[in-house]
Amino acid sequence: MENLTETLKYVIPSLVVFLTAYFLLRMFLEAERKRRNQEFLVERIRISLPVRLQAYERFILFLERTSPQNLIMRMHKPGLGAGEFHQQLLQAVRDEFNHNLSQQLYVSSHAWELVKNAKEEIIRQINTSMTKLDEQATATDLSNKMLELSLEKMAAKRALDYLKAEAARIF
């Protein structure tokens, strides 16, 4: 019995020291893991934030550049027929859209849908304006018809407002 008591005098303190060291080490390692995760998140945000903001900028620029007023001002060439101007306008909108296609990765799916809808609306406006003209119409006639119809461009405004609000939430 005395042997058992003597053994317990050494084993119990050793067990207490071991358990204390184990729990302290576990708490330290857990705190270190949380700190590293936090650093990783901060670094990821530091790197991705400028790229995300650039995506919002590029989509806003796309929406502005493809607005009927800006598109006409940029693309209009005197002496063009309406058919040729129509094709140039459609090509310009598609090129602008395709140039910014990869930016969808950095915006929400709802924002991306609004941008796609705005693109489809401007294409629809261009096509509708063209169908309302006769075959001898000029680029100026098509421009005037587009400007008449552009008062209804709600999809681009919704997309612009949403992109601005979503970008503001990043900050």
pLDDT tens, residue by residue, 78-129: 888 999 999 999 999 999 999 999 999 999 999 999 999 999 999 999 999 9
Comparing CA positions, the residue from 69, 52, 27 lying closest to residue 111 is: 52
Please tell me the distance from the alpha carbon of residue 112 to that of residue 118, in angstroms, as a whole number.
Answer: 10
Q: Please give the pLDDT value at position 156.
A: 87
Q: What is the mean pLDDT of the chain?
A: 90
Q: Does residue 171 carry a pLDDT above 80?
A: no
The residue with greater pLDDT, 26 or 77, is 26
Please tell me the distance from the alpha carbon of residue 140 to that of residue 95, in angstroms, as a whole number.
Answer: 22
Range from 13-17, 34-38, 74-78, 104-108 carrying the lowest mean pLDDT: 74-78
DSSP assignment letter at 81:
B
Q: Please give the pLDDT value at position 151.
A: 66
DSSP assignment letter at 76:
-
Q: Does residue 5 carry a pLDDT above 90?
A: no
Q: What is the pTM of this model?
A: 0.75
Q: Residue ranges per domain, the chain?
A: 50-170
